Amino acid sequence: MSKTNKTWDNIVSGDSGALEELYYDMFDRLLNYGMRIINDRDKVEDAIQEIFLMIWSKKEHIKIYSSISNYLFTCLRREIIHQLDRHKHESISSFELFPYPTNISDEESKSTRLSMIQSEITNLPTRQKEIVYLKYKENMNYDEIEQIMGINRNSSYKLLHKAINKLKLALLGSAD
């Protein structure tokens, strides 16, 4: 039995320490993902807290069919969308695919390309930004992406393909 399966079993059994452990293990990943959807740290933290409160209150009834992390990403996405529906005047933010500095040799050339990529990702539609983030930043497979985004396999292929094509066209156009 994997550590996360044991953690989930402990949560279902009423072990609040296991819930706390899961919260601290997943908080940074959930925060990073949530910040890609809505650029408001307080709202993302509130959404994370809401999903953990929901998990605790409904722990006996929740069935997880894939991984716990996929379940949490899906819950967070839905909670944020629910928050946005309640506050229609707020807008979806852009995100950076590489928000933290990386070790790059030939610093100037690669940092220029990196900043061009980040800039073009910012210009993608929200769903395309989201799928690029999940696929390339979180290294998720298509099954996980389908579950989190609530789309089928074919749609996820098409959405990612469109995003990559837009990035290619934009980057090739800026190379001229």
- Tens of pLDDT, residues 65-114: 778 888 999 899 888 888 877 765 434 444 444 444 444 445 566 677 77
The pTM of this model reads 0.59
Secondary structure class of 41 (helix, strand, coil):
helix
**What's the CATH number of domain 3-86, 1.10.357.140, 3.30.590.10, 1.10.3210.10, 1.10.1740.10?**
1.10.1740.10
Structural domain boundaries in the chain: 3-86, 107-175
Q: Hey, what CATH topology would domain 107-175 get?
A: Arc Repressor Mutant, subunit A (1.10.10)
Choose between 88 and 45: higher pLDDT. 45
Give the least confident one: 10-19, 97-106, 124-133, 167-176.
97-106
46-59 pLDDT tens trace: 899 999 999 999 98
Q: Which stretch of 1-10, 12-21, 34-43, 147-156 has the lowest confidence by average pLDDT? A: 1-10
DSSP string, 62-122: ---SS-HHHHHHHHHHHHHHHHHHH-TTS-PPP--S--S----SSHHHHHHHHHHHHHHHH
